[in-house]
Structure 1
C-alpha cells in the first residue's frame, strides 16, 4: 500500500488512538487524586510510611501514577494536534515521546519483576519490627493506623498475632471476639489471620488491572508510532520533502 493510500485511514485511526491516550491520561490523574483524598486510604498510607521521607511507598506510587497520567495526557494532545494539522513537528515529537514512554514502561516492568520479592521481604520485615514497638500507653498515628487496619480487615499483626512482643495485643485484634482484653491465645484460637497477606491480596488484585491497562497502552503505543510515521511521511511528501516515485 502506498503512502497516499494509507494516509486517510492512518490519520483517522491516529485521531481515535490519541483520543484514547488523552482520556486515559485524564482518568489516571483523576484516580490518583481520588486515591489521595479517600479517608479510608490514609491509615493504610501511614502504616506503610517506613522511610525517613514524609511520603510512604503507597503515596510515592500514587504520585507516579498521576505523573504518568499527565505525561500520557499531553502525549495524546500532541498526537491529536499532529494528526489534525498534519504537523511534522508535532508528529516527530509524538513519535519520540511515545517511543521513550514505551521503553520506560518496559524497563519499569522488568525492574518490578526482578525486585518484587526483594521489596516484598524488606517491607514485611520492617512492618514486623515496627509492630513489636507498638505503644499501648501513648498511641501515635502509626498505632491508630494499625488499629484501623486490624479492625477493618479483622486481622492481627503482620504475619500473625505473635508479631507483638508481649502476650498482650491491641484490642483491635479482637474485633471478631468483641473482648475488652486481648491476648495472643484468644486471637490465635479464633483463627485471626495476619494483615500483610490480606493487604497483599488486595494489592495484587488491583495490580492485575493496572498491569493489563499498561500492557494495553504499550500495544497502542506501537500502533500509534506506526500510524504517526505514515501520517508524517505523507505530510513531508505533500510539502515536497520527499520526491514521490509515482503519482498520488
Structure 2
C-alpha cells in the first residue's frame, strides 16, 4: 500500500514537471511573439525598456524548463536536496512572474505616451521608398491595421513626402484592400482607410503587453495553488514520500480554484499598479 502511494505521488509530480515544461514553452513563445511584433512597430516608440517584460518572461520560461528537469530527477531519485532546490527555484520564478505583471502594467500605461511622442516624427521622415526602414514601417502598419495617417488620411497633407510628390495623393498602403484600382488620390476618399493609425498602434501594443501580463499571472496563480510556502515548511521533519504526497494533494485540487485565484490576483494587482502609476509616473 505504501509503495503504491509513493508510485502515485511520483506519477503526479512527474506529470506536474511536464506541465512546467509546457509552461516554459508557452512563456518563451509569448516572449518571442512580443519581440517579433514589437519589431514591426519599433519606430513608433523610443523607450527600449518597454521590452523588459518580454525579456523577463523568456527568462522565466527558461527557469521553468530547468525546474521541470530538476523536479523529474529529484522525484525519480526521491532526493530531498533536489526537491528543496525544486521548491526554491519555484519560489524565485513566482516572484519573477509578479515582477513581470507589475512591469507589464507600468509599460502598458506608457505605450500611449511613447507612440504619441514618436509617430509624428516617423510620418515626417516617410519617403515612400522600400529600403527606408521608417517608410516600410508606416506602409506595414497602414496595411495591417487598415488605417491611414496619424488621426486620419488628411494628416498626410502636412508631411514632406506629400508636399514633394505634388500629386494630391497618399501612399497606396492607405488604399482599402477591397479596392483594386485605388491610386491613393484624396479626391476619392471612399477608397482610403478612414481611421488614423495612432489609436490602433496603441491598442495593438497594449494588447500584446496584456498577453505577457496574463501569461505571467496565470502561471503565478498555478504556483500559488501548488502551495509553495506549505511545501517549504514540510521539509522540517517530512520524508521524501510525505513531501511527494503533500505536493500531490495541492496539485490535484488545482482546477477547482485556478480561475478564482487569477481573478483575485488581477484585481489586487490592478489597484497596486494604478497607485504606482499615479504616484511615480
What is the TM-score normalised by the length of structure 2? 0.62
Unaligned 5+ segments in structure 2 are 163-168, 244-281
SS in structure 1 at match of 2:182: coil
Structure 2 residue 82 is matched with structure 1 residue 90: yes
Corresponding position: 1:234 with 2:239: yes
1:157 maps to which of 137, 149, 157: 149
Rounded Cα–Cα distance in structure 2 between residues aligned with 1:89 and 1:138 = 58
Instruction: Name the CA distance, whole Å, in 1 between partners of 2:9 and 2:116.
Output: 49
User: Is the aligned partner of 1:100 residue 2:101?
Assistant: no
Identify if the C-alpha distance between structure 1 residues 182 and 88 changes in structure 2 by more than 3 Å, giving closer, same or farther.
farther
1:140 aligns with 2:132: yes
Q: Take 1:31 and 1:213, find their aligned partners in 2: how far apart are those partners?
A: 8
The equivalent position to 1:182 in structure 2, one of 182, 185, 192, is: 185
Deviation digits for residues 94-113 of structure 1 (CA, Å, limit 9, x no counterpart)? 22211111112112212332
- In structure 2, relative to structure 1, the CA distance for the partners of 1:187 and 1:98 (3 Å cut) is farther
Pick from 193, 196, 219: which aligns with 1:194?
A: 196
Note the alpha carbon deviations across 1:135-167, whole angstroms, 9 max, x for none.
Answer: 246860220221122123321123333444336
- Helix, strand or coil at the partner of 1:131: helix
2:49 pairs with 1:47: no
Tell me whether 1:215 sits opposite 2:214 in the alignment: no
Indicate if the aligned counterparts of 1:160 and 1:195 stay in contact, CA closer than 8 A. yes
- Cα contact 1:22–1:73 (8 A) shared by 2: yes
How far did 1:194 drift?
Answer: 1.9
1:7 CA displacement = 6.9
8 A Cα contact 1:159 1:196, kept in partner? yes
What secondary structure sits across from 1:78 in the alignment?
Answer: helix
Measure how far apart 1:197 and its partner are.
3.1
**Residue 199 of structure 1: how far off its partner (Å):** 4.0
Q: How big is the alpha-carbon RMSD for the aligned residues of Structure 1 and Structure 2?
A: 4.0
Q: Provide the residue aligned with 2:19 in structure 1.
A: 20
1:17-54 CA-to-partner distances (Å, cap 9, x unmatched) read: 22100122134445656787xxxx67x6243246789x
Residue segments in structure 1 that go unaligned for 5+ positions in a row: 1-5, 239-248
The alpha-carbon distance between structure 1 residues 123 and 81, as it changes in their structure 2 partners (threshold 3 A), is farther
Distance 2:212 2:103 in 1: 16
Report if aligned partners of 2:57, 2:100 keep a CA contact under 8 Å in 1. Answer: no
Q: TM-score, normalised by structure 1?
A: 0.69
Alignment coverage as a number of residue pairs = 226
2: CA distance between counterparts of 1:234 and 1:46?
53
Aligned equivalent of 1:172: 173
> Any idea what SS the aligned residue of 1:159 has?
coil
